[in-house]
């Protein structure tokens, strides 16, 4: 068990005459027993961050501490950390039992009997006890993934680091393993940092999520906070599926004026915007309400271009009637609702659900 902190951690790689800043001044505090998901697009610095924590990569600037001790110069094998990779990294010539035991022999000085019983217990926990005498080549992808997890768990480390451990599994297996990993984390209560580029994994698994872009930390918060109160345009667009709709708007008096619509603001929202006039209005597809007819301040006539039935919901592509540029945006409505593409509807953007961002800096103002 351990808490872990990153203080102004930076990683620079030399690339000929240039320097790549893969991780840029990142600070995060991770509590003992917390499940933190590190998420962001390809190349944003997730793996590099994890590798620095593991001791597989040097740190250019800043400090990493485990239980209050700076570990920057501590070798990987002395950090009491177990890492699970996307590739599983199992030894093909060893049985499952030998693979799991090997991790223990490397990192502990337990007697044979204790090691055997630890392997058996962990195999039972992961429901792979009947596979112990098989070799990795004789296992399915999902089973290999469990063995890779077992090899980490059996060591009883202070910290787990997981780098996209589910990305080689098919969608159904992945969602099953997602739940199982959460259950395991609840049982074992080990501080875990889990890297993924998949925002669904981040939303469903993390106690908190840390969102990275271009090596810079964008927000660290609970999944719901990131969803409801994104710090900036990047987080707003990254979290949520389908993505939040964005409209370029200009503040004129107490209205936001965009292509084909004018959105009046109540006094408290107007006050949050200050003097900035170049803004972006954001609204999530699931927050837009579609009516047959209605005429209020936040209601706009729309045409429906595409209806995509998903079963539990319909994804619609709609456009403002008054928009000459024919731009479209996404709306989701419940699956039982019949939507006729040849009819004009009214889209309602509830003020409680809209977000407003500074167009230049991306910062959320409301
Ligand atoms: P992915 O999801 O694609 O694995 P990531 O978020 O894990 O991406 P990193 O692998 O941490 O990203 O890479 C961050 C940046 O650092 C990238 O621009 C990458 O090209 C660069 N980088 C990583 N390792 C090295 C290296 N050894 N030498 C030079 N540049 C590197």
Q: For a substitution probing ligand 1, which of 24, 42, 48, 166 has the most ligand atoms within 8 Å of its CB?
A: 48
| pLDDT score of 1 | 63
Cβ neighbours of 223 (radius 10 Å): 19
User: Is 43's C-beta closer than 6 angstroms to any atom of ligand 1?
Assistant: yes
Burial class (CB in 10 A: 0-12, 13-18, 19+), 334: exposed
CATH class of 4-238: alpha beta
Taking the C-alpha atoms of residue 243 and residue 200, their distance in angstroms, rounded to an integer, is: 12
Mean of all residue pLDDT scores within the chain: 92
Report the C-alpha dihedral over residues 259, 262, 266, 270, rounded to 10 degrees: 40
Q: Where does the pLDDT of residue 231 fall: very low under 50, low under 70, confident under 90, or very high at 90 and above?
A: very high
Domain boundaries, the chain: 4-238, 246-358
User: Is 46's C-beta closer than 6 angstroms to any atom of ligand 1?
Assistant: yes
Taking the C-alpha atoms of residue 334 and residue 313, their distance in angstroms, rounded to an integer, is: 4
Mean pLDDT of 55-67: 96
| pLDDT tens, position by position, 199-219 | 888 998 889 999 999 999 999
| pLDDT score of 15 | 83
Q: What's the CATH number for 246-358? A: 2.40.50.140
Q: Where does the pLDDT of residue 187 fall: very low under 50, low under 70, confident under 90, or very high at 90 and above?
A: confident
Note whether 218 and 232 are within 8 A (CB): yes
Comparing 37-41, 87-91, 140-144, 268-272, which segment has the lowest mean pLDDT?
87-91
Note whether 81 and 158 are within 8 A (CB): yes
| 236 has a pLDDT exceeding 90 | yes
Gyration radius of the chain's alpha carbons: 25
| pLDDT tens, position by position, 237-253 | 999 989 999 999 999 99
Which residue, by CA, sits nearest to atom 15 of ligand 1? 22
Q: Where does the pLDDT of residue 51 fall: very low under 50, low under 70, confident under 90, or very high at 90 and above?
A: very high
User: Is 48's C-beta closer than 6 angstroms to any atom of ligand 1?
Assistant: yes
Q: For a substitution probing ligand 1, which of 10, 19, 20 has the most ligand atoms within 8 Å of its CB?
A: 20
- Residues in Cβ contact with 319 at an 8 Å cutoff, skipping those fewer than 6 apart: 260, 302, 303, 305, 326, 327, 328, 329
The pTM assigned to this predicted structure is 0.90
Comparing 7-21, 38-52, 173-187, 194-208, which segment has the lowest mean pLDDT?
173-187
Q: Which residue would you say has higher pLDDT here, 151 or 330?
A: 330
| 153 has a pLDDT exceeding 90 | no
Pairing verdict, β 313-320 and 329-334: antiparallel
Mean pLDDT of 267-295: 95
| pLDDT score of 162 | 93
| pLDDT score of 16 | 84
| 235 has a pLDDT exceeding 90 | yes
Cβ neighbours of 64 (radius 10 Å): 21
Q: Where does the pLDDT of residue 180 fall: very low under 50, low under 70, confident under 90, or very high at 90 and above?
A: confident
Comparing 46-60, 84-98, 161-175, which segment has the lowest mean pLDDT?
161-175
Residue 366 structure tokens? 């409301």
| pLDDT score of 174 | 82
Chain centroid to Cα 129, Å, comes to 32
Q: Specify the residue for token string 């990569």.
A: 57
* Per-residue H/E/C for the chain: CCCEEEEEEEEEEEECCEEEEEEEEEEEEECCCCEEEEECCCCCCHHHHHHHHHCCCCCCEEEEEECCEECCCCCHHHCCEEEECCCCCCCCCCCHHHHHHHHHHHHCCCCHHHHHHHHHHHHHHCCCHHHCCCCHHHCCHHHHHHHHHHHHHCCCCCEEEEECCCCCCCHHHHHHHHHHHHHHHHHHCCEEEEEECCHHHHHHHCCEEEEEECCEEEEEECHHHHHHCCCEHHHHHHCCCCCCEEEEEEEECCEEEECCEEEECCHHHHHHHCCCCEEEEEECHHHCEEECCCCCCCEEEEEEEEEEECCCEEEEEEEECCCCCCCCEEEEEECCCCCCCCCEEEEECCHHHCEEEECCCCEECC
User: Is 12's C-beta closer than 6 angstroms to any atom of ligand 1?
Assistant: no
Q: For a substitution probing ligand 1, which of 26, 47, 197 has the most ligand atoms within 8 Å of its CB?
A: 47
Distance 98 CA to ligand 1 centre (A): 33
| 55 has a pLDDT exceeding 80 | yes
């Amino acid at each position: 068990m351990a808490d872990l902190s990153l203080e102004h951690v930076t990683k620079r790689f030399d690339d000929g005459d240039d320097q790549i800043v893969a991780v840029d001044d990142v600070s995060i505090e991770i509590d003992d027993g917390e499940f933190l998901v590190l998420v962001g697009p390809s190349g944003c610095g997730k793996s590099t961050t994890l590798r620095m924590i593991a001791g597989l990569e040097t740190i250019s600037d800043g400090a990493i501490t485990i239980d209050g001790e700076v570990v920057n110069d501590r070798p990987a094998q002395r950090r009491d950390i177990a890492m699970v990779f996307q590739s599983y990294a199992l030894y093909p010539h060893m049985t499952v039992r030998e693979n799991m035991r090997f991790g223990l022999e490397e990192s502990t000085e337990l007697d044979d009997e204790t090691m055997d019983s630890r392997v058996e217990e962990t195999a039972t926990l992961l429901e792979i006890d009947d596979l112990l005498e098989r070799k990795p080549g004789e296992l399915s992808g999902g089973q290999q993934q469990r063995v890779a997890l077992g090899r980490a768990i059996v060591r009883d480390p202070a910290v787990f680091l997981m780098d996209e451990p589910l990305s080689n599994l098919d969608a159904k297996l992945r969602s099953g393993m997602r739940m199982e990993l959460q259950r395991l984390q609840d049982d074992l209560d080990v501080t875990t940092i889990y890297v993924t580029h998949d925002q669904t994994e981040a939303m469903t698994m993390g106690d908190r999520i840390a969102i990275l872009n271009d090596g810079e930390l964008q927000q660290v918060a609970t999944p719901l906070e990131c969803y409801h109160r994104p710090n900036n345009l990047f987080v707003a667009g990254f979290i949520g599926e389908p993505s939040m709709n964005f409209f370029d708007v200009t503040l004129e008096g107490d209205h936001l004026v965009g292509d084909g619509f004018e959105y009046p603001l109540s006094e408290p929202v107007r006050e949050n915007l200050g003097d900035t006039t170049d803004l972006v209005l954001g609204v999530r597809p699931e927050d837009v309400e579609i009516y047959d007819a209605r005429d209020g301040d936040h209601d706009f006539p729309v045409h429906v271009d595409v209806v995509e039935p998903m079963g539990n919901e319909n994804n619609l592509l709609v456009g403002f009637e008054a928009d000459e540029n024919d731009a479209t945006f996404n709306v989701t409505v419940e699956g039982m609702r019949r939507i006729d593409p040849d009819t004009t509807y009214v889209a309602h953007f509830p003020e409680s659900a809209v977000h407003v961002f500074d167009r230049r800096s991306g910062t959320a103002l409301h």
